Structure 1
Amino acid sequence: MSSRIMTPLAENWHFRTDPDGIGIKKQWYLSKLEDSKRVKVPHTWNVEEGLEEYRGTAWYSYDLEIPADWDGKMLRLQFNAAYRDATVWLNGIQAGQHKHSGYTPFIIDITDLARPGAENLLTVSVNNENSDVALPIKNSFDWTDDGGLIRGVSLIVTGEAAIDYANVNAKPLFKEAGANDNRGILNGQIKLCERGIKADRQAVLKVTVEHEGKPIALEEYSACVSDGKLHINDIMIDQVKLWHFDHPHLYDIKLELMLDDKSSDELTVHIGFREITTDGSKLLLNREPVRLMGVEWMPGSHPDKGMAETEDDLIRSLKQIKHANCVITRFHWQQDSILLDWCDRNGLLVQEEIPHWQQPDEPDETLLPISMQHAEEMVVRHYNHPCIYAWGIGNEVNGQSPKTVAYMKKLKSFVEILDSSRFINYVSNSVHFEPSKDATGAGDLLMWNDYIGTWHGELDETAVISQIRTAYPEKPLVVAEYGLCEPAFEGGDPRRIGILEQKTEEYRKHGGIAALIFFSLNDYRTQMGEEGDGRLRQRVHGTTDLYGVPKPSYWKLRETASPLALQVEWAEQAEALKLTLLVRSDIPSYSVKGYRMTLEQDGTPTDLIRIEIPDLSAGEEWITEIVVSAAAKTKGVKFEIFRPTGFSVMNGCLKQNEINHLREAKHK
């Protein structure tokens, strides 16, 4: 039996609002909530009828069962997020608080307050009012401020000593020529919970490394606890498979903490061996120069779920991102580990950010501790996710101000102490004014929200990009946002398609642009939305609507982001299809390995042809001929190309008359 038990607390919560602010005065935490209703966690009240605009305090209570045989165990409550200021009581006694950060996980020790074998009353108050000291500040953020226990809650049961978190480094080793030599190094440290172990006590740490369910390395060593930390010594791994968005190989690191020859806690983390670096203005993934295409997604936008979206809801949107051929994204606020786990397993690069959005106009020292809190809670809890390639420390906070530049440099230095292995970036909507003075220059990558033609007015796009590149010739540029926001700007989805096509074509001409992130995947719920009311208040900025229904722009995004182009001809004797597959060499641009194609004739699965596409580098092409039946010439041949992860790259139906028509038009 595992020495760690993790029990989700999802069903049968009691909930009520506190519009008059009387809960504390009347000590609602001492007994079960009156006039309450049952809800399931994750939960937000801002999608419920009559509470869409409610910003204030609400209360939750839960009958927490703690068996008698858990006496002597360490008991902790894990909240994946509560928006925003939360206070927790157990059996009428305050157990802890978490303030100023509504999207980061927190853990509260309830060992001393628990009554094993008896009834235990868990009570939580949550407040989502605007704040002058929290992030996001006041009313300055372009997403919804749904209040409540917006992510999962769990009870963690361990022995007398327990692991708080583990930060594991997975570094691949490369030969000088750049080829992976199939080896890697693992190391890191685990942070222990404050209770249950003294600094001079000896502990044994067992580390087991598994890949595809098979153990490949085992280390066991005694370690003296120092500052509540145990270090994971270097472990050499042979025959390493690298993590890549098309090949998301993962390794399981199983940690077991032993005290007095008895297992006290176990924790498994998932890691991936991958290297993301820069070489001048080039972005390198595992030593390969890449130029990537992506889209930003605004979670919490489903009108029926809000920020309390389920795992299935999250995965549905993530699959849409991958189906659109997008391999990179960013988030304006910290996300659930459930979401990041999916990105690890399925190959999606992520920049996760603290919600530093537009205000204060010039951040200063008074806000720095809160920003550091956000950064630390984000980094230490999400450190192991190979999908995370960068941490974001701010978005559109007056990047031309010297105060902002100084502030972001200090915040970046702090984050570097937490994690020196990833990029740390500031996203600017002002670098096009005076590039050399902008705060994005303090980051490892230049990140620019480009709204020339809408929010930024009519400027010369080519000249602006050239000025940015001239100011920072040794840093890759990422266009972190571009798109169309309705109803602030007219033109609808046809104009959105035009912006996607025109700007992408311009970006492709500039070699220093390493990635494009279109904004956005979806129309999104936001408290500052210009369209709709209540839970339907939104910004119409997406390639899908609030419910995830694709618009024409979604299909244009899928086409634009494809790394492949397909040319089709009927061979001279018209008995075979001649297929020429081209790998793009601009944006996107990366090698394709392990891709496959299927072709179906006559509409019957028995005629399905499967073709393994050879490995191709950017700019290369592959030609093949497929003999087809007479009927297929008119009925058509259905085709689809897949990535190694199973996601579709392109699909369609090839008909002789349509192809001949295209050829004739081309010759004319």
Structure 2
Amino acid sequence: MDIYLDGTWNLVLDPENIGIQKKWYSINWVQSPSEPVLSIKVPSSFNTLPGLNRYAGTVWYIRKLPDIPYRPKSHEYSIEFEGSNYYTQVWLNGNYLGDNYGGFLPFRFIFNPRLIAITGENYLVVRVSNALDRKGIPAEVYDWYNWGGIHRSVKLLILEKTRIIKIKVTTKVKPSHISMATVYVNFSIKNTQEFLDRCYAMQIEPQAEWELYYLGRFFDGEQQFNQILIQTGTLEINPEILPPLNHISHDQESLEEYFDEILDEIEQIDEIIDLETYFSSESKNFLKRLNRKERKENKKHQYLDLDADSKDYNTLFHIDIQNPSLWTPDTPDLYLIKLHLNGIDEDKEVRFGIRQIEVKKGQIVLNNRPIRLIGAAIRDEKNLHGMDYLNEIYRRDILRLKSLGMNTLYPSYYPHVPSLLDLADEEGILIFSEIPMVKNIRFHDSKTRKLAMKMIYQMINRDYNHPSVILWIIGNEIDTFSYFSRRFLSDLIYYTKHWDPSRLISVATNKILFNGIHKRIDVVCKNLQFNSTYGGLPQFSWILDTIYSFHRRKPVIITQFASSHNRKTKNLDNDIAEFQFHAKNYLISQIKVAKTKPFIQGMILGILRDYRSPLHSLFQKEEVVHNGFFNEKDHPRDIVPLLPKLLPESSIIPKYIFHQNLPANFHFNVFILRYFLLPFEILTILKEKIHYCFLRLKARHFYRPVIKEK
């Protein structure tokens, strides 16, 4: 059972960071606070409140909990946050539950139900700080607004202690034909030994029953047809590989006596749990960092298993499907698999699509057919005011993409809400997903490296069953050439492939020559921002050829495909109009050039909507970045009606041989351009280092833990 805690919470500001010292988390202080108390809606960002626009500091959330069912022996209690930015600490009735770093991925804290007051009132206290952290991910400088607070849903979970906790579905399409597909289902059982003993006491077989349904397609969020049962089956849970319980004997009488109290209290769960939490604070044993000496001795990577100490039972089975309905942007057909354990009331079900994404002979191939990825990026902001997004806005954005002839959405810089991925699954939109590892990350710091490893693990487990997600981007415009960055990124790429071998991996970079990990990634993602970095259009074609010369046999995706904004006058309206005029002409010319390059397999043409970013430019005072296809009032710009005519009619690329499609002077041009770009790129790196230092100063001046009166 899940009890949502969204709604109105109390909020107390702590600009001097004295709350922990004065025990603001205690029940006595919560019931009679000594500081002014505000009201705030959860989920939302506290920066939307009057006077807190630039506030970067600590706040305290207080929530009186509703009545909670008390089932301590048979059920597990936990608090789950889908997202809270950035550093979060949680107390329940004055008892500390744990903390979490990161603002965009789910986390939860398991607690003893004895902490709940049966007759009195229960209070949940959450301390959240969005202060800039140089060792954090992201660090002090990043290209989006520092929205702080609990900006995604919070819920209280009451789950059976013995249950299916995780299902991962991987699909493969036969390479010779598409009339046969195999579905691999990997699931985990929590407290497996108790499940086996319970089955023994109840005189039932320790089995897991599964059912496979065909859901078909969705229209406006509604399923068009009733789900169709395709296959069913039963799996035996093998008790021989599991050790017996130490605290009881295995004769019939003792088992019955041990489980009498538990079986009497088991009640029907109110609803099927739709989303199992993917990462628990108890998994902190993952901080057993990579051991370089062991890797050298074994000459292989030592798997970093975040669940290495878990007693959960994992098993894998596969299902063969004749004539499957494959998931593609044109035919987003979905399936559902449901698992049930004998003697357990809770079922577990996940939705998935049958599709296979891979790279073959330099092409991105979806279901054994090459595909071109055309799309736009998006920021998780609601009309420039916070991150409390609505599904209606997401659906509108996705339908806009499809109307423009695009098939890809890039939720840039950080993982967006899962509801966006659900809509992408239903509408047939391909997704690039990434963790907020941007700009100047301190790779030499162990805290930063562990946090990045934890984030990619969380993101993979949360989004694994979404067929729309085809590419993991593990960094954006980060250092890929220094010793520490190459060593860590190589490890991160390896473990990402180990945790999810079914998707592509890349790192988005704005460098052409300096990329120390290009051999380890599947797809080359380049941020090419002209006017400020690489000059004008005459160099664009040559630069694309140079990128290909460094990355032979690998597809190239331009993940930032626009010109930059340089203010020239004090009149903001004139600046925006002039910028939009030049940006439109640049984009049209760039698309025409890129369409002539067969190795360009994807183009992210720009940002879908304007967004807030006070650190986008060093000397820019305006907080809004005006380079979206739709402005802050949600009106389309002049480029929007032209896009359907500019983009390719079909997303399928005909097969080709690279060297037969290259111009005669290709190798000579690339040879000259390499030596021309080498000193230029070195100067660009030095320029970025200096620019970053000034942006850090601007960030510290812009975001301050000072309350300004309205």
TM-score, normalisation: structure 1? 0.77
Q: What is the one-letter code of the residue matched to 2:638?
A: P
Contact 1:301 1:307 in 2 (8 A): yes
Alignment of 1:480 with 2:537, yes or no, is no
CA positional deviation for 1:476: 0.6
Contact 1:521 1:542 in 2 (8 A): yes
Q: Which residue of 1 is the match for residue 307 of structure 2?
A: none
Q: 1:209 aligns with which of 178, 200, 212?
A: 212
Contact 1:182 1:241 in 2 (8 A): no
Alignment of 1:452 with 2:530, yes or no, is yes
Q: What is the one-letter code of the residue matched to 2:317?
A: N
Say which SS state the counterpart of residue 244 (structure 1) adopts: coil
Q: Which residue of 1 is the match for residue 369 of structure 2?
A: 288
Q: C-alpha distance in 1, partners of 2:555/2:185?
A: 29
Q: What is the one-letter code of the residue matched to 2:132?
A: N
Q: Which residue of 2 is the match for residue 51 of structure 1?
A: 52
Do the aligned partners of residues 388 and 57 (structure 1) sit closer, same or farther apart at CA in structure 2, a change above 3 Å counting?
A: same
Say which SS state the counterpart of residue 407 (structure 1) adopts: helix
CA positional deviation for 1:343: 0.8
Alignment of 1:243 with 2:324, yes or no, is no
CA positional deviation for 1:62: 1.5
Contact 1:351 1:392 in 2 (8 A): yes
Q: Which residue of 1 is the match for residue 7 of structure 2?
A: 11
Say which SS state the counterpart of residue 173 (structure 2) adopts: strand
Q: C-alpha distance in 2, partners of 1:25/1:481?
A: 46
Do the aligned partners of residues 229 and 140 (structure 1) sit closer, same or farther apart at CA in structure 2, a change above 3 Å counting?
A: farther
Say which SS state the counterpart of residue 584 (structure 2) adopts: helix
Q: What is the one-letter code of the residue matched to 1:453?
A: N
CA positional deviation for 1:399: 3.2
Where do residues 56-135 of structure 1 align in structure 2 (5 Å cutoff)?
56-68=57-69, 70-72=71-73, 73-99=75-101, 101-112=102-113, 113-116=115-118, 118-135=120-137
Alignment of 1:278 with 2:359, yes or no, is yes
TM-score, normalisation: structure 2? 0.72
Contact 1:494 1:553 in 2 (8 A): no
Say which SS state the counterpart of residue 469 (structure 1) adopts: helix
Do the aligned partners of residues 302 and 466 (structure 1) sit closer, same or farther apart at CA in structure 2, a change above 3 Å counting?
A: same
Alignment RMSD, CA only?
2.7
Do the aligned partners of residues 164 and 444 (structure 1) sit closer, same or farther apart at CA in structure 2, a change above 3 Å counting?
A: same
Deviates more, 1:196-205 or 1:288-297: 196-205
Say which SS state the counterpart of residue 557 (structure 2) adopts: strand
Q: 1:501 aligns with which of 588, 591, 595?
A: 588
Q: C-alpha distance in 2, partners of 1:288/1:275?
A: 10
CA positional deviation for 1:488: 5.0
Q: Which residue of 2 is the match for residue 230 of structure 1?
A: 314
Say which SS state the counterpart of residue 91 (structure 2) adopts: strand
Q: Which residue of 2 is the match for residue 25 of structure 1?
A: 21
Larger strand proportion of the pair? 1
Say which SS state the counterpart of residue 542 (structure 2) adopts: helix
Say which SS state the counterpart of residue 329 (structure 1) adopts: strand
Do the aligned partners of residues 408 and 124 (structure 1) sit closer, same or farther apart at CA in structure 2, a change above 3 Å counting?
A: same
CA positional deviation for 1:185: 2.3
Deviations 1:249-288 (A, max 9, x none): 1111223344xx232x322211110011111221111111
CA positional deviation for 1:487: 4.0
Contact 2:361 2:553 in 1 (8 A): yes
Say which SS state the counterpart of residue 207 (structure 1) adopts: strand
Alignment of 1:262 with 2:348, yes or no, is no
Q: Which residue of 2 is the match for residue 308 of structure 1?
A: 388
CA positional deviation for 1:316: 3.0
Where do residues 150-549 of structure 1 align in structure 2 (5 Å cutoff)?
150-174=151-175, 176=176, 179-190=177-188, 192=190, 197=194, 204-212=207-215, 213-223=227-237, 224=239, 227-258=311-342, 261-263=343-345, 265-300=346-381, 302-304=383-385, 306-330=386-410, 331-360=412-441, 367-431=448-512, 433=513, 437-458=515-536, 460-488=539-567, 491-530=578-617, 537-549=623-635
Q: Which residue of 2 is the match for residue 640 of structure 1?
A: none
Deviations 1:427-450 (A, max 9, x none): 11002x35xx44344311011111
Contact 1:190 1:232 in 2 (8 A): no
Deviations 1:112-145 (A, max 9, x none): 32345653211111110011222001x2210111
Say which SS state the counterpart of residue 450 (structure 1) adopts: strand
CA positional deviation for 1:67: 3.7
Structure 1, gaps ≥5 residues long: 565-583, 592-668
Q: C-alpha distance in 1, partners of 2:620/2:544?
A: 38
Of structures 1 and 2, the one with the larger relative CO (CA 8 A, separation 6+) is 2
Contact 1:398 1:404 in 2 (8 A): yes
CA positional deviation for 1:333: 0.6
Say which SS state the counterpart of residue 339 (structure 2) adopts: strand
Q: C-alpha distance in 2, partners of 1:131/1:382?
A: 27
Contact 2:165 2:187 in 1 (8 A): no
Q: What is the one-letter code of the residue matched to 1:450?
A: L
Q: What is the one-letter code of the residue matched to 2:497?
A: E
CA positional deviation for 1:496: 1.6
Number of corresponding residues: 550
Structure 2, gaps ≥5 residues long: 200-205, 216-226, 243-309, 569-574, 655-710
Larger helix proportion of the pair? 2
Say which SS state the counterpart of residue 530 (structure 2) adopts: coil
Say which SS state the counterpart of residue 563 (structure 2) adopts: coil
Q: C-alpha distance in 1, partners of 2:558/2:580?
A: 21
Say which SS state the counterpart of residue 124 (structure 2) adopts: strand
Say which SS state the counterpart of residue 630 (structure 2) adopts: coil
Contact 1:358 1:398 in 2 (8 A): yes
Contact 2:336 2:352 in 1 (8 A): yes
Contact 2:167 2:185 in 1 (8 A): no
Do the aligned partners of residues 121 and 242 (structure 1) sit closer, same or farther apart at CA in structure 2, a change above 3 Å counting?
A: same
Contact 1:302 1:309 in 2 (8 A): no
Say which SS state the counterpart of residue 122 (structure 2) adopts: strand
Contact 1:199 1:227 in 2 (8 A): no
Q: C-alpha distance in 1, partners of 2:618/2:4?
A: 37
Deviations 1:284-336 (A, max 9, x none): 111111222111112225233x1222333333333332332221122211111
Do the aligned partners of residues 495 and 361 (structure 1) sit closer, same or farther apart at CA in structure 2, a change above 3 Å counting?
A: farther
Deviations 1:312-364 (A, max 9, x none): 33333333323322211222111111111111111111111111111137656
Q: C-alpha distance in 2, partners of 1:315/1:144?
A: 23
Q: C-alpha distance in 2, partners of 1:344/1:123?
A: 36
Say which SS state the counterpart of residue 248 (structure 1) adopts: coil
Deviations 1:152-196 (A, max 9, x none): 11222222224443222122334x2xx31143323222363x799
Q: What is the one-letter code of the residue matched to 1:316?
A: R
Do the aligned partners of residues 262 and 521 (structure 1) sit closer, same or farther apart at CA in structure 2, a change above 3 Å counting?
A: closer
Q: Which residue of 1 is the match for residue 637 of structure 2?
A: 551
Do the aligned partners of residues 114 and 229 (structure 1) sit closer, same or farther apart at CA in structure 2, a change above 3 Å counting?
A: farther
Q: C-alpha distance in 1, partners of 2:642/2:118?
A: 58
Contact 2:7 2:43 in 1 (8 A): no
Q: C-alpha distance in 2, partners of 1:114/1:455?
A: 58
Say which SS state the counterpart of residue 315 (structure 2) adopts: strand
Contact 1:77 1:108 in 2 (8 A): yes
